[in-house]
Amino acid sequence: MSAYSRVAGVDTAMRLQSDELSENVRSAKGTPVSKRNASRAARARRHSAGIRGSQALNGLRFLWLEITPGCNLHCQHCYTESSPLLKDPKIVDWEKVLRDAYRAGCRQVQFIGGEPTCNKQLAQYVSTAHKLGYTFIEVYTNLTLLSERLADQFRRYRVNLATSFYSSLKETHEEVTGVEGSFERTVAGIQYALRKKIPLRVGLVSMKTNEHDVAEAVKFLVGLGVDKGKIEIDHTRPVGRGSGIVKLQSLEETLCGQCWQGKLAVSWDGSCYPCVFARRVMVGNLSKSSVGEIVRSEKLKTFRRRIFEHSRKRMYASGQEFLNRFLTLLSETN
């Protein structure tokens, strides 16, 4: 199972740099910009971005809940190393986690695993999240176990679905999942979710096993009726079994750079991480601390600041490169 959470959120560093670059571009074009107005606007943007940035760095916006270590598949790259051999030890009170996180300001949650539909209480957790007032609820599932009862619950509580898909070729897909028959079951689950009109997005993880078929897999999914804009292609992360496929270079390069934005992952044993892929950085455990205490902990804040700074520098470098290219092109056309 892969969890690529793309939660709506404002990347304040990117927005600030975009504003600065826009003003540079206008100046390069010769557009007059009032210094007083520009300064006033810049201060307002920095103040607004500072508030959003502070909330993201110090608060809780989005929650991953790994509600079981068990899975009916055995994917080559699984970052949690889930398998059919692992069972849910029922250590964590997930409804309490949902309540505590909501009190801490969280309004977005994704249920993952393992395979979340292996947890018989999933429908109850979804119901609890809805009743508490979570505005975004997603279940990341391989869709091989999607029942009519669950689908009806998902529709009732406005749940979004996400799934992983690996190839348009049955043999290749099942080489990744390690389970015969999983291709047909996932395809059937995708078709059923679409018929039920449950919002669905698909993550297509590229690795050596399936890299030859990524483009065809996208076409295949579109042919099933999946919105092309809801298909995301990503690379294998060097985490869990994925570390046997891709070598770890640095934590910063492993992550997408957005986990500083008020995110927290809670694993089946109560361990908490800043991101599902940052499993080398445990920031607490619910057996010793509450959700609120972990969110306020200096360890989590330090990690978020580290990722924020890395992302800011990377985006600034990219922005400067774009501006340099633009100015070069502008000079060549004059």
Residue 318 — pLDDT band, cuts 50, 70, 90? low
pLDDT tens across 37-84, in order? 545 554 544 444 444 455 567 899 999 999 999 999 999 999 889 888
Residue 211's pLDDT is 95
Residue 277's pLDDT is 87
pLDDT tens across 266-284, in order? 999 999 999 888 888 899 9
Residue 329 — pLDDT band, cuts 50, 70, 90? low
Sheet holding 108-112, edge to edge: 231-235, 200-206, 160-165, 136-140, 108-112, 62-66, 263-266, 271-273, 284-285
pLDDT tens across 228-251, in order? 999 999 888 888 898 888 887 777
Residue 311 — pLDDT band, cuts 50, 70, 90? confident
Give the helix, strand, coil percentages of the chain, each rounded to 5.
50, 15, 35
How does the average pLDDT of the chain come out, rounded?
Answer: 83
pLDDT tens across 61-74, in order? 999 999 999 999 99
What phi and psi values does residue 112 have, to the nearest 5 degrees?
Answer: -135, -165
CB-hemisphere CA count at 13 Å for 65?
A: 30
Q: For residue 324, count CB atoms less than 10 angstroms from its CB and return exposed for 0-12, middle for 13-18, buried for 19 or more.
A: exposed
pLDDT tens across 139-187, in order? 999 999 999 999 999 999 999 999 999 999 999 999 999 999 999 999 9
Contact status, residue 275 vs residue 259, Cβ threshold 8 Å: yes
Distance CA 82, CA 222 (A): 29
Contact status, residue 118 vs residue 72, Cβ threshold 8 Å: yes
Q: How far is CA 211 from the centre of its chain?
A: 22
Rg of the chain on CA atoms, in Å: 22
Between helix 12-29 and helix 298-333 the angle, nearest 10°, is 20
pLDDT tens across 94-147, in order? 999 999 999 999 999 999 999 999 999 999 999 999 999 999 999 999 999 999
pTM over 0.95? The answer is no
Residue 215 pLDDT greater than 70, yes or no: yes
Residue 198's pLDDT is 98
